[in-house]
């Protein structure tokens, strides 16, 4: 396991603030009260561990397959449905949505290999990530990847009520590899994937996903 670079400043700042709090408590607030000092130290360690675990990147064998779409993020499947995709395709698509809680790994990964044919960033609201309108009204990005077969897959990063920063590492005309990092969303969020109607969806609502590993869908040969 390693830690993501997006967390460097936050982790260092958290550590500094907690050290200052403990120093003030030791010399002023709880001076002479060993029990209170120990309890505060334990609480601070727990807080720091929670912050650090948010930026973890587990070592996993990634899934590579030309006809498979892998999960772009860790989390729980909250939407599996046929719906209208109004921004890019403007037709019916199969939508799969993954909700990432603050305890999930928050790296976002490319679900397929291909070329980035479309990218847009939209500032917006911060509705809870499972709200039906979050995919069209929240801060978000939209990325379209075209596979070598010509099939296009749309990926949308969506900020939630807690997440206030979306990071992306892709741009139009860039080639990407399935399972490679495409971005990061901090502290709770959601990722939508829109697939052609002939894609065979392999997941259901409530399933737990592992980014870059779990197969979301498969295309026929």
Active site (catalytic) residues:
189
**Alpha-carbon 108 to chain mean position:** 5
Q: How far apart are CA 39 and CA 36, in angstroms?
A: 5
Q: How far apart are CA 120 and CA 26, in angstroms?
A: 50
Tokens representing 134 are: 């979050």
Half-sphere exposure of 148 (CA within 13 A, CB side): 10
Q: How far apart are CA 207 and CA 174, in angstroms?
A: 31
Tokens 């001076």 — which residue? 31
Please check whether residue 61 is in contact with residue 54, taking contact to mean a CB–CB distance below 8 angstroms.
no
Nearest residue to 70 (alpha-carbon basis) of 191, 170, 206, 164: 191
Nearest residue to 93 (alpha-carbon basis) of 164, 144, 39, 28: 144
DSSP string for residues in 111-177: SS-EEEEEEEEE--B---TTSTTHHHHBSEEEEEEE-TTS-EEEEEEEE-SS---EEE---TT-EE-
């Amino acid at each position: 396991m390693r830690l993501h670079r997006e967390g460097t400043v936050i982790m260092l700042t958290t550590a500094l603030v907690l050290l200052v709090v403990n120093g003030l408590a030791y010399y002023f607030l709880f001076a002479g009260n060993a029990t209170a000092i120990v309890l505060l130290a334990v609480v601070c360690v727990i807080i720091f561990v929670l912050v650090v675990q948010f930026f973890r990147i587990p070592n996993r064998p990634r899934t590579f397959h030309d006809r498979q779409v892998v999960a772009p993020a860790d989390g729980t499947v909250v939407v599996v449905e046929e719906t209208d995709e109004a921004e890019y395709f403007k037709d019916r698509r199969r939508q799969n949505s993954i909700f990432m809680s603050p305890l999930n790994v928050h790296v976002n990964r490319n679900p397929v290999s291909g070329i980035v044919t479309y990218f847009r960033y939209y500032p917006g609201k911060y509705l809870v990530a499972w709200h039906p309108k979050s995919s069209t009204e929240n801060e978000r990005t939209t990325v379209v990847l075209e596979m070598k077969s010509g099939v296009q897959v749309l990926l949308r990063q969506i900020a939630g009520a807690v997440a206030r920063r979306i990071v992306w590492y892709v741009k139009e005309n860039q080639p990407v590899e399935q399972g490679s990092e495409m971005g990061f969303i901090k502290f709770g969020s959601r990722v939508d994937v829109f697939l052609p109607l002939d894609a065979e969806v392999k997941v259901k609502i409530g399933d737990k996903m592992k980014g870059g590993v779990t197969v979301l869908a498969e295309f026929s040969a």
